[in-house]
Amino acid sequence: MSSPVISLRDLVVRYGSHQVLNGVNLDVERGEVMVLLGGSGSGKSTMLRQIIGLDRPSSGTVHVQGVDINHCSPQELKRIRRTMGVTFQESALFNSLSIEENVALPLRELTTLANPVIEIMVYMKLAAVGLGEAAKQMPQELSGGMKKRAAVARAIALDPEILIFDEPSAGLDPIVAAALDELILFLKRAFRMTILVVTHEMASAFRIADRLAMLHHGTLITVDKKESFQASTDPRIRQFLDRCPDQMTEGAAVQQRFRELAGLTEKTL
């Protein structure tokens, strides 16, 4: 079996006294779609920022393609980043550039390709995400779903081996979200990419995942194939899958305060 493309070992991230990730261990294998699940504030985005090398961990290691990205040279980090494509939750398209200029940006900056070749490549990438007709438009002229697809086109501009999505379906209607899921599966099949998706959309997760990992309050509680994940009896996973709300521990106290404000006592009730 080949070595994992992404490997996290004992990853701890602390902001002041608040520990966001508590010794996370995770391997993402070549060619798989790994979906990272977790509720709001569980540490998903923090973990993602560690994997793409935007933040440094308090302790532990992050290996991408076998390279420790926190202890390598800037040149090595640059080389590793060229093998990764990232689409952010808010798309992060450059508003001053048209869609085709956004997609052309990494090609212009990081290659010595001639302009006509870049233009052809940009068209191919935009066509792959179904945006061939929107090349000349500005990001602010596109819908949310189109922006996400444009961001995907930019992320795959350099044919990366690893593609990372942060909340791809967030803010999209179910039809557009489903189209984006199909796009992710198409990219996996067509380009044999290793794909890591951070989401909390269960339908999307089960549609695209080969394996799922779940973060709960900064701890990775499971990494499993989707069938096993769906059948899990772990109460934390069941709560997430069955959409059960947390206990409102302060509910009684709030009710008591309302009663006091209304001048109600046990007797009057």
Partner 1 sequence: MRVLESTGNSFIRQLSYVGGLTLQFWSSLRASTRVLPIVGKRGRWQTAMRQIISIGVQGLPMIGILSACVGFIVAIQTGAELRKYGALQLVISIVAVGFTRELGPLVTAIVVSGRSGSAFSAEIGTMVATNEIDALRTMAIDPVEFVLAPKYLAAIIAVPCLTIMSDFFGIMAGSGFMYATTDMGLRMYLNYVADAILLRDVFFGLLKSIAFGTIIAQVGCMEGLQVHGGPEAVGRSTTSAVVKSTFLVILADLLFTAAFYVLGAV
Residues in contact with partner 1 by CB under 8 A are 52-54, 77-79, 81-82, 84, 86, 88-90, 92-95, 105-106, 108-110, 154
CA distance 242 to 254: 27
What spatial distance separates the first Cα and last Cα of the chain, rounded to whole Å? 69
Nearer to partner 1, 79 or 192 (CB): 79
Amino acid at 61: T
CA distance 193 to 102: 21
Nearer to partner 1, 146 or 212 (CB): 146
Nearer to partner 1, 82 or 226 (CB): 82
CA distance 70 to 77: 8
97-110 burial: b if 16+ Cβ within 10 Å, else e: ebbbbbbbbbbeee
Nearer to partner 1, 11 or 52 (CB): 52
Q: Which two tokens stand for residue 268?
A: 């009057």
Compute the least distance from the CB of residue 27 to partner 1, in Å: 21
Q: Which residue has the tokens 């008591």?
A: 256
Compute the least distance from the CB of residue 245 to partner 1, in Å: 28
DSSP conformation class of 88: -
Nearer to partner 1, 136 or 257 (CB): 136
Nearer to partner 1, 149 or 154 (CB): 154
Q: Which residue has the tokens 């233009």?
A: 119
Compute the least distance from the CB of residue 36 to partner 1, in Å: 17
Compute the least distance from the CB of residue 151 to partner 1, in Å: 8
Nearer to partner 1, 153 or 212 (CB): 153
CA distance 72 to 93: 28
CA distance 153 to 163: 11
Compute the least distance from the CB of residue 177 to partner 1, in Å: 20
Compute the least distance from the CB of residue 92 to partner 1, in Å: 4
* E strands present in 29-173: 33-38, 59-64, 67-68, 84-87, 162-166
Q: Could you tell me if 25 and 11 are in contact, meaning their C-beta atoms sit under 8 angstroms apart?
A: yes
Compute the least distance from the CB of residue 167 to partner 1, in Å: 12
